[in-house]
A and B are shown apart, each in its own frame.
Chain A
Amino acid sequence: AQSVTQPDIHITVSEGASLELRCNYSYGATPYLFWYVQSPGQGLQLLLKYFSGDTLVQGIKGFEAEFKRSQSSFNLRKPSVHWSDAAEYFCAVGAWLTGGGNKLTFGTGTQLKVEL
């Protein structure tokens, strides 16, 4: 069974500083990996995804993530954080279903606080 670990429950960074959120996964086959963001009181919004190909993936809002198979990691990065990036971030690994679509297993999330 697949699993995802986000080792950092809370992270605080200053506005303008760089950000890296860690994600480690466990999955027996080629993983399909996702990062979602959730603002307070909102649903989840997809930031980026990795299905195959280039291991450095660009997403929305200036985020990127790098898939490293040897480390079973898919860390999320942003070179300069904005106050509006304060939110909860979830990493997920997907397994394809027999009938189509994918079943996602989520990490427990990382709460990002941005200091002005």
Chain B
Amino acid sequence: DVKVTQSSRYLVKRTGEKVFLECVQDMDHENMFWYRQDPGLGLRLIYFSYDVKMKEKGDIPEGYSVSREKKERFSLILESASTNQTSMYLCASTRQQETQYFGPGTRLLVL
């Protein structure tokens, strides 16, 4: 069974803080993704990575960066958190040309 885990289910941060969201998958998947989910907007792709140390911008990369130093781990970084980054963040992974599997999500509140 594919398992995608995210480091926190709920997170509360202050404006201006640096925030790290971690995602780990245990199925040796090449591709990993970060989405944010907002009511009425569905899921929007922030960044993705198809190999270690490789990253590509998604549809809404502004205010975010990512890191993939190991194949199983993909980190999303908010360099200076802002209130408009309050959202649900979902990580996903996939092998080549297969289905994306999602983690349980991290609900981030920026005060």
Contacts and interface: CB of A to CB of B under 8 A. Distances in A.
A102 interface: yes
Given A44-B90, A106-B42, A107-B42, A99 B50 contact: yes
Give chain A's interface residue range (CB within 8 Å of chain B).
Answer: 20 to 34
A100 interface: yes
A43 B54 contact: no
B111 interface: no
Nearest to B93: A101
A45, A98, A105, A107 interface centre (most CB from chain B within 10 Å):
A105
A61 B49 CA distance: 31
B30 A101 contact: yes
A43 B99 contact: no
Interface string A84-116: 000000101000111111111111110000000
A25 interface: no
Interface string B1-44: 00010000000000000000000000000110101000011111
Contacts of A97: 31, 48, 50, 56
Interface in B88-111: 90, 92, 94-105
Contacts of A109: 42
A100 B51 CA distance: 10
B54 A108 contact: no
A36 B105 CA distance: 15
A43 B45 CA distance: 15
Contacts of B54: 99
A99 B31 contact: yes
A46 interface: yes
A30 interface: no
A90 B48 contact: no
A99 B51 contact: yes
Contact of B103 (A43, A90, A104): A43
A49 B58 CA distance: 22
Contacts of A70: none
A101 B102 contact: no
B97 A43 contact: no
A67 interface: no
